[in-house]
Amino acid sequence: MTLTYSHFTALGVTPRIAPEDVSRPRLSVIVPFLNEQENLPLLRQRLCALTDLPEMHEFIFVSDGSTDQSVPFIERWAMEDSRVKLIVFTRNFGHQAAVCAGLEFARGDYVAIIDADLQDPPELMLQMYDTARNEQLDVVYSVRERRDATLVKRLSYRWFYRLYSYLAESPVQADSGDFSVLSRRAVNDLLAMPERVRFVRGLRSWLGLRGRPVSTTRPDRAAGRPQYSWSKLISLAVRGITSFSTKPLRLATMGGLLLCTVALVVSTVYVGYWAFGSLHERLPGFTTLVVMMLFLNGMQFLIIGILGEYIGQIFTEVKQRPLFVVDRTINLATGLASTADRT
């Protein structure tokens, strides 16, 4: 029996897929959300208007520590429709943890991941599902051709993906996101990964399963304020790079060797000047010396910071704490899941 991180949740259990009791849905739709009370009614209208949804489907909403009226809204919807499921965290554990919780509880042959802010069009989700099923693909993901965002944010995303593609051993396609449709095999493989530091789109790319992108335009939020602050975006970017690449460590080593070489050359020039120059002439360059000292100290702190990021990830992994803690669920059967249950 293979145990995953959700066995350590407050419930102490994970959902059990029981074919003899419950028919497995064809499509599970995972919707992580945080304080989206303005967008959820709009999302419900869009989802309910999808006439091409498979007859057997389920919606799994994951509340990542919401403090507004988002959870009561989903609770009322779940009471009206048993296909609507709800997972409520004890606190905010992060978007990636909410996505992974949905994957743990999803029972569908295919699993879609979509945000609640309507920046990911639900209509495209069905197109991605049909593509995955008809072409027998394991991963179909969206690639944003255009973003309705500020210039600074667009440039930040562009440079992040370029940097990530250069550094990562298994780079993700530029401007791709978590919005995707995964086969049951892809979901099982993702759940089999034991790490606590999660970057879902990076893990998805690392699997190397058959997949293809689908182009889309990413509009602005339908309502409300973005829940991903700049600090969260930077943290996600650093986590993604350090989880899938050791090149920053190599670059730090190469930078140290380069600085040592420069220091050796400068010291040689310095000694030569005093050996062959006038002994009474004062060597200029006090400002240069101060700038060099500041630069070298900055490089030292930068290298220590890079090492600290990797040590921090090791620290997080060895503690083996759960990725999330579930407070309660609605319309979700629980039981002990084994690898056989997910096949």
Q: Rounded CA gap, 111 and 181, in Å?
A: 5
Q: Rounded CA gap, 36 and 117, in Å?
A: 7
Quick one: average pLDDT of 144-157?
A: 68
Q: What is the pLDDT of residue 336?
A: 35
pLDDT tens digits, 173-231: 666 778 999 999 999 999 998 888 888 888 888 888 998 888 887 766 656 666 655 56
Element (H, E) at 292: helix 286-319
Task: Give DSSP secondary structure letters for 234-276.
Answer: HHHHHHHHHHH--HHHHHHHHHHHHHHHHHHHHHHHHHHHHHH
Helix (H, G, I), strand (E, B) or coil at 176: strand
Res 96 pLDDT > 70? yes
| Alpha-carbon dihedral 170, 196, 193, 187, rounded to 10 degrees | -90
CATH code of the domain occupying 5-245+322-342: 3.90.550.10
Structural domain boundaries in the chain: 5-245+322-342, 247-319
Q: What percent of the chain has pLDDT over 70?
A: 69
Q: Rounded CA gap, 202 and 196, in Å?
A: 14
Q: How is residue 190 written in tokens?
A: 């993702």
The residue written with tokens 């910071």 in the block is 305
Q: What is the pLDDT of residue 79?
A: 93
Q: Where are the alpha helices (DSSP H) in the chain?
A: 40-48, 70-80, 95-105, 122-134, 151-167, 184-191, 200-207, 230-244, 247-276, 286-319
Q: What is the pLDDT of residue 114?
A: 94
Length in residues, the chain: 343
The residue written with tokens 């967008």 in the block is 39
φ, ψ dihedrals at 163, nearest 5°: -65, -45
Return the amino acid letter for 337: A
Res 32 pLDDT > 70? yes
Return mean pLDDT, the chain. Answer: 78
Element (H, E) at 203: helix 200-207
The residue written with tokens 């083996």 in the block is 320
The residue written with tokens 């086969």 in the block is 183
What pTM was computed for the model? 0.72
Rounded to the nearest 10 degrees, the angle between the axes of helix 95-105 and helix 230-244 is 60
φ, ψ dihedrals at 27, nearest 5°: -140, 125
Q: Rounded CA gap, 106 and 190, in Å?
A: 13
Rounded to the nearest 10 degrees, the angle between the axes of helix 286-319 and helix 247-276 is 160
User: Which 8-state DSSP code applies to residue 175?
Assistant: T
Question: Starting from the edge strand earliest in sequence, which strands make up the sheet with 176-183, in order?
Answer: 211-218, 139-147, 176-183, 110-113, 27-33, 57-63, 84-89, 326-330
Helix (H, G, I), strand (E, B) or coil at 178: strand
Count of other CB atoms within 10 angstroms of residue 104:
26
Res 50 pLDDT > 90? no
pLDDT tens digits, 271-318: 776 666 654 455 566 666 766 777 777 777 778 878 877 887 787 778
The strand pairing partners of 182, in sequence order, are: 111, 139
Distances from the Cα of 228 to the Cα of 53, 104, 155, 162, 232, angstroms: 29, 23, 17, 21, 6
Q: Which segment, 49-63, 152-166, 207-221, is predicted with the most confidence on average?
A: 49-63
CA within 13 Å, CB half, 178? 22
Q: What is the pLDDT of residue 54?
A: 84
